[in-house]
Amino acid sequence: MSREFWDERYANEEFVYGKLPNKYFKEKIDELSVGKALFAAEGEGRNAVYAATLGWEVTAFDQSLSAKKKAILLAENNQVTIDYLVSDLDNFNYESASFDVLVLIFAHFPEEKRRIYHRQLTQTIKNGGYIILEAFSKNHMQNQKENPKVGGPKNIDMLYDLDEIKEDFQNFEFLEAYETETELNEGEHHKGKGSVIRILAKKTNEINW
């Protein structure tokens, strides 16, 4: 989706995916030792702000300026600070081996660029650091037909296959990696049954792609 699409979606006062963190993300971040976290395609900041309330040092980025404004407001309302950059992945300034966790919550990238982006992002993680990922699977299209309010990309090429996603992260030990059906209740644009992929993985070594 274009920057203009997301700027328009996030322009309203309401938080379109809610203010509460994603349930899978919350469950996993609650179990990790506090450190530095990178949130890619973070949108309105609900996950980044939650991590900051736990004491994490948070960096987030998204291509939408409207998203940043709402994320900063949410952080202020929760009396925390986050470093939020307006950038797409082609222009993001990656700092190698600087983060303890990479968070990818419904961060959907075009199929032709997905693997490149994922591998670029993993270079920002320290050895022993983690990925927390939740994204819609290719099976999600049936849920969209039954309930358009459940959200997610309408283009199947932007939906994910578990085996393909695991190939993106070859230098990781998969502590969890599965596809499941879940009931979403995240604002007005993630409502209803969704088919999602969930991954918790630990970085084991560096690979020069």
Q: What is the pLDDT of residues 34-83, one digit of tens each?
A: 999 999 999 999 999 999 999 999 999 998 998 999 999 999 999 999 99
Contacts of 127 (CB under 8 A, 6+ apart): 97, 203, 204, 205, 206
Query: Which residues are registered as beta bridge partners of 60?
Result: 39, 84
Q: Report pTM.
A: 0.93
- What are the tens digits of pLDDT across the range 86-123? 988 888 887 899 999 999 999 999 888 999 999 999 99
Quickly state the pLDDT bin for 207 (edges 50, 70, 90): low
The pLDDT of residue 161 is 95
In this structure, the strands spanning 125-136 and 190-203 are antiparallel
Residue range 173-183: average pLDDT? 95
What Å distances lie between residue 95 and 59, 69, 115, 124, CA to CA?
A: 11, 24, 18, 6
Mean pLDDT of the chain: 90
The pLDDT of residue 92 is 83
In this structure, the strands spanning 83-86 and 99-105 are unpaired
SS3 34: coil
